[in-house]
Amino acid sequence: MSESIHQLEKEIHTSSNKTLFSNDHFADRIGSLTSSLPTSQNYNLYAKIIQELNRKYHQFGLISKISTPVDAGFRPTNLTNFFGGVSTPGLSDNILTENSSILVQENGFNLVLEQDV
């Protein structure tokens, strides 16, 4: 059974363990949700949980971990920067050709077409 984004948000909100934030424990768990909860269809849910994560980063003085740009309430104005820096275990970030060359590679939310030289 996959993790609930709402339960994870509550866990982030109630956590007082700075280490869980400094070692990207919660950021990685948010990233792993994308395999079962597509970001394109759940933008507001992801923006809300990342906002809570950013608030905690601010509370613990981990300002450099805040995914910018954000509004005055630490809500991300886009999800690209957050997911570009988060590991998504088990998800392939490229499409290969028959001879195992990279055809298309994902970089955050951007698809990069590889040139044939």
**Contact at 8 Å (CB) between 39 and 56?**
no
Residue 38: the pLDDT is: 83
The side-by-side arrangement of strands in the sheet containing 102-107 is: 94-96, 102-107, 110-113
The whole-model pTM stands at 0.72
Per the structure block, which two tokens stand in for 5?
A: 């984004």
Q: Where are the domains of the chain?
A: 5-89
Residue 111: the pLDDT is: 52
DSSP state of 16: -
pLDDT tens per residue, the chain (117 residues)? 468 999 999 999 999 999 999 999 999 999 889 888 888 788 899 999 999 999 999 999 999 999 889 999 999 988 888 877 665 555 555 666 777 666 665 554 555 555 554
